[in-house]
Amino acid sequence: MGELSVTLCGIELGNPIIPASGTFGYGAEFSALYDLDILGSFSFKGTTRNPREGNPLPRIAESPDGMLNAVGLQNPGVNRVIAEELPRLKRSFHKPVMANVSGFSIEDYAETCAKLDQEEQIGWLEVNISCPNVHGGGMSFGTDPCQAAAVTRAVKEVTTKPVIMKLTPNVTDIAAIAKACEDAGADGLSLINTVTAMRIDLKTRRPVLANTTGGLSGPAVFPVALRAVWQVYEAVRIPVVGLGGISSAENVIEMMLAGATAVEVGAANLRDPFACPKIISALPKTMKNYGISSLKEIIGGAHAK
């Protein structure tokens, strides 16, 4: 059997499969379906300083080979996550978990990350500067290198755990944003978040989503994500987590060859709640088919040496 383990920012994972934030809640729903400990880790629901109800309905739309969402970071707020969700999580998941954090100001990010940094089960802080579905925050920090660096520095000043900055593809030069985060102290990067998109209802002649636009995810964005991971891997020295349209073991290997140390599986979880266990189960045979004995050895393997 091939060796599936990888090391992400100093923490070893039994395999590189991480359900992506926004597609896995805080783990409770999926723990009723299978043993969560088979996962490498998972990134829990995007958490903000204060509770959020999210955007108005409708906020989900179908698209060929994907879906659009404009949920708008609905969550109970960091204090309730710490008081209620993390104690519940400890009963079903016994590995370090990735905390996904969003904010509307640099102070928001810093305060939320500082609180989560104190929690024993948190392994990494995934700082989302890339959400396209909120106004006055999220992606506004991730489209400018100076703003991205400022958030990174602020979070690093108040935390001790690895900080992974989550980047948006909705920029001209994602490598420049990645380098700015690295220079500001980021321990890793995750990419990509969703691609800004929209649909129009032909009967009403109005946008399908109440928010007008949403984030496109699913297989349609995989080539975009792969390109972004390739470019960022060439630009930085810190680990990259690849996500965007991954739905098979073959996708995982392709993303790792592009430069990903680990991968996040997003929309596939919404289509099939057993998507991650199926990918993990398929990895050894797929590795054998392509002559791969260890996943660690193929990270960035498609780049010229």
**Beta strand pairing status for 60-63 and 122-128?**
unpaired
Rounded Cα gap, residues 241 and 167, in angstroms: 10
pLDDT tens-digit readout, 116-137: 999 999 999 999 997 654 555 5
Q: What is the mean pLDDT of each run of 10 residues along the chain (305 residues)?
A: 93 98 95 97 96 94 93 95 97 97 93 98 95 56 91 97 96 96 98 96 97 95 98 98 98 98 97 97 98 98 89
In the chain, domain spans: 6-298
**Residue 131 falls in the annotated catalytic set:** yes
Fold for the domain defined by 6-298: TIM Barrel (3.20.20)
What's the pTM value of the predicted model, to 2 decimals? 0.96
Rounded Cα gap, residues 260 and 298, in angstroms: 9
Q: Catalytic one among 9, 113, 131, 181? A: 131
* Percent residues over pLDDT 70 in the chain: 96
